[in-house]
Every structure is written in structure tokens, then in C-alpha cells.
Chains A and B, each alone.
Chain A
Amino acid sequence: MLASGIMDEDAGSMQRMIDCGAGAIVTKSIGIKSREGYANPTVIELDHGILNAMGLPNPGIEQYGEEIKKLKRTKVPIIGSIYAADADEFASLAKKMQRFGANAVELNVSCPHAKHYGLEVGCDPDLLHDIIKKVKGPVSLPVLVKVSPNIMNIVEIAQTIEKAGADGIVAINTVKAMAIDLQTARPLLANKTGGYSGKAIKPIGVRCVYDIAQAVDIPIIGVGGITTGSSRHPDHRSRRDHYWGGCHRVFHGRCFSCPDRIRCVLPWS
């Protein structure tokens, strides 16, 4: 399963991932209005992973709806990732994702580098509770909430998510990070800071999933540092929960069938 932000800006790229064997697709995080994101450099490879600060670029929900509609006839579940600053906007986006034919929604409350969005929403339990309640009301789709490793109260946040009625927790988003070029003494990313992904963060993800699993009963989807099908940790496939993928993740939720047939979904590997 592909994590949000990888090859998912238009119907064609999502279609290619489906052709490659992806068991499900999570869309790019979509907001109410279009957003250009940050200037380049937005993505840089470091010794043990990838550092990025895209800045939530997206064409806005209405134009993105056209891309999802083109994929509607596929059997592969489409999970619509959405971001917003308040509960009403989240609810409106979720309703639209449902109307466009998404099979579930993922609330991005964990992007580590966008002002007013993402992590700034996801570390406030009251706001998060309000958002989930408002989204669950008008939407019949499963609602997943993607959490950040960059918080000290991940267990409290997970419990809030469960109490508010969400159907699952996705853990984790990227780890807040920065890299500086020594020769020019400048940050490598235009946004200066960004989120770190790749193999190096897998143990961070595993710890977060473990901590969350001790505290809630809803399904958990592990993301982060998953680079092969065998990156799944059998010892963490406790209960009815469910894994993984960083660049791709395998997911056995109660909403989806087990994608045993998943092959390598990384066309660049």
C-alpha cells in the first residue's frame, strides 16, 4: 500500500501504482483550495533516508475530485487524504472525498512542516476530538487518523482518536528534521526544516505503534521506513491490527481485504 504523497498527484500516476500491484492507494493530502507548496529544493536524499518539505502542494479538492473519479472503476481501495485547519473544513473535505468515490478518508494531522496545518492540529487533543466528531457525523466511510511521531503525548492523542469514534490510526508521518550543507552553510531544503523518512525511521514507527497498541483497541496501520514486503514485523501484528509500508504499506484493516498479492510497488527500485 502506498503512503500519501508518493506518486499520487493525478489519476495516471495512481493508475501506474495499481498496475504495479499496490493493494490500496492513499492520495496526496488535499485541501479546500489549491496550494503550490514550497520552492525547491523540496526533496533531498541523505545517508539513511529522504528529507522532504513539499508544503502540502495540491490542486484543491474540486480539481482533485476529477482525478479520483477517473479511478472510480478500479477495485483497489482509494483512501482520500485530507488536511485542513479546522473541523468544518475537514468535514467538508471528507464529504467531498466520499462523493468523489473514495473508499476511506485519512485525516492528515501530522504533516511536520506546514504552518496552521498538520502537526499543529494533531497535537491538540480537544481540536482533534472536535474534528473527528464533525467528520464522522456526515460521512459513512471509515475515518483513519494519521499521527505524528513528533509529539510527546502520542498515547493521549491515540486515546482521543479512539474516543472520538475514528475507525483506525495510521502511524507514523515523517520525523521532523533538518540538513545543512556545510560548504555553503545553508539548509538544504528551501523550507529549512522538513520530514525525514526511509529506513532510519522504522524503529521510531515501530515504537509509536507499540505504544499506541497498548492503549487503544481500534486498528493501527504502520507506516514509516517500510521498503520491502518483508519489512512487516510479525511480532507486532497483534490482535486484528495491521500493517505497514513507508513508501508502501501492507494493510489488513477490517475495511479492506488482505492484499496478499502485493508485489513490489516501487517502480524505481
Chain B
Amino acid sequence: MNRPLITTVLSNITEATDIKTITFRSPGDVKPGQFFMIWIPGVDEIPMSVSQITKNVIGITFRNIGDATQALSQLQKGDQIGIRGPYGNGFTLHGKHLLFVGGGTGIGMLAPLVWQAKKKKLSTTVILGVKTKDQLFFKDRFQRIGAHVLISTDDGSLGYKGFASELAKDIIKKERIDAVYTCGPEQMMSALLSLCKTIPLQASLERYMKCAIGICGQCCIGRGLRVCVDGPIFEGKTLKKIEDFGSFHRDAAGRKILL
């Protein structure tokens, strides 16, 4: 049923400056790349991709950037939220040598997929791109599960100085990569897409969402592709045909806004 299920916050963990993870009991099977509509009664309801999937517990990781995430960041163990979902298609793993590129909070939702890849004994290289080292999170988590982790910071405070997509360019040139999985700023994902050429890419997109069940049209891109139902994970070959990818999104009124 597409209405909020009231659940209790199990934990609220600080990952980095302004970045937190809250966890709640899993309502059932959830795939890497899927999302929930998180209802904070009296504040808002927003889409959040899952950043942690275990048998019983689901986590979401977010940066405190607006009213809803501010409210979420203040929740304590025992507080109540509403969840609808899981929604969306989720990622599918292909190939043996995989590259994961996360930018900013986009890093979070790649974690369950990297974990799934490691469980299948696939070779995983993970690029974590952040503005500055204070915003880096999940590095230890990725290393613990055995991924090869590379870091880029815009200001050079840690690892490669520059964008994650530039670091990815080197890897794609030098190593065998069968598939690329990415989540982060759309300009970064768009740059990656043009680097990939024949390498299959899957990207997780974010759009303003309202219904999350495919009827209102708010999150549509291209020829009526609904990010909530047809996505949020899209193949590179689909994204190549979408003019707005990497350049425009639409606000709550449906106005086109430059990314």
C-alpha cells in the first residue's frame, strides 16, 4: 500500500560534517539503488535512497541541506517517521571488473551495491569524490569489505586534487573496466557517461518527487521516463538520448532550472 508505514528510528549516526545516517527496521526485500519516501510528520516527505541494507535494518544517509533533512538529522532513537516503499528499479550487476563512482552524498547509496559485488567476489574499485576531506564518509566501510578505494577532493585536502570524473578517466584508460556505477552531481555523472563510450554505465538520478508511484509526472525526464518508477537507475544508453541529463531539472512548479 502506497501510504506511510509508521516506524521507529533505531539509530542516528554522524558520518562526517553535516552528514548523518538514520536507520529503521526493514519492511521487506530491498535492492541496492531503491529508495523510500520518508515522511517527517508536520515537515515534509522526501525520497531517500538506501545506504545500508541488512536482513532487518535499512539505513539512509543524507546531508543536512533543507527543512526536511534538518528535521531528519535531529531525530533520535525511538522517534517516529513514516516510510513508503521501497520504490524504483535498483541496480543490476554486470561483468567482473567494476568501477563505482560516488560524488558527495551520492557515495552513500552505492554502499549496498559495492557490498553485493564483493559478496559475488567481483573486482571493485570505488572512487569517493568530495569537496573537502571533512565531507568524506564510508571510506572505512568500503575498505573493510575489501574494495579498492580512491579518493578525490576538489580542494586537494585528501587524495587526488580534482573531480571524481577526472580520476575515473585515468582508471578507465589504464584498467579493464566492465561496467561503471555512479551516483552524485549530475554534471559528474554526465562527464562519466561521455568517458565510458562502450562501457555500460548505470547512474542513479535525483529529481523533485511528489507521488513516487508514477502518476503525477513531476519527476519525468526525456520522453516521459518517470524517475520514481522507470528509474531512479538509468542505463547510459538511455541517458545519452535525454537532453536534460546533466543540464536541467524541474522545481516543484515544474519550471526548468539549470543544474
Contact = CB atoms under 8 A, between A and B. Distances in A.
A10 B253 contact: no
Interface residues of B, number: 39
Interface string B69-81: 0000000000010
B156 interface: no
A138 interface: no
Given A16-B223, A44-B2, A181-B6, A37 B252 contact: yes
A81 B212 CA distance: 23
B18 interface: no
A179 B6 CA distance: 15
Given A13-B224, A45-B213, A184-B82, A190 B253 contact: no
- Grouping DSSP codes into helix (H, G, I), strand (E, B) and loop, the A interface class, with mixed when no group exceeds half, is loop
A2 B123 CA distance: 48
Interface residues of A, number: 46
B212 to A, nearest CB: 8
Contacts of A8: 217
Given A60-B253, A63-B256, A13 B214 contact: no
Nearest to B6: A183
- B209, B216, B256 interface centre (most CB from chain A within 10 Å): B216
B220 interface: yes
Contacts of A39: 44-45
Contacts of B209: 40
A141 B19 CA distance: 54
Interface in B211-253: 211-218, 220-226, 229, 250-253
Given A35-B253, A181-B82, A188 B216 contact: no
A17 interface: yes
Nearest to A179: B3
- A8, A12, A54, A267 interface centre (most CB from chain B within 10 Å): A12
B224 A15 contact: yes
A43 B210 contact: yes
A8 B217 CA distance: 6
B178 to A, nearest CB: 31
A43 B213 contact: yes
A259 interface: no
Contacts of B221: 12
B3 A44 contact: yes
B253 to A, nearest CB: 4
A35 B255 CA distance: 9
Given A13-B224, A36-B252, A59-B255, 4 more contacts: A9-B220, A10-B217, A15-B224, A43-B213
Interface of A: 5-10, 12-17, 19, 28, 34-37, 39-47, 50, 52, 54, 57-60, 63-64, 179, 181, 183-184, 186, 188, 190, 247, 267-268
Interface of B: 1-4, 6, 37, 39, 41-42, 44-46, 80, 82, 209-218, 220-226, 229, 250-256
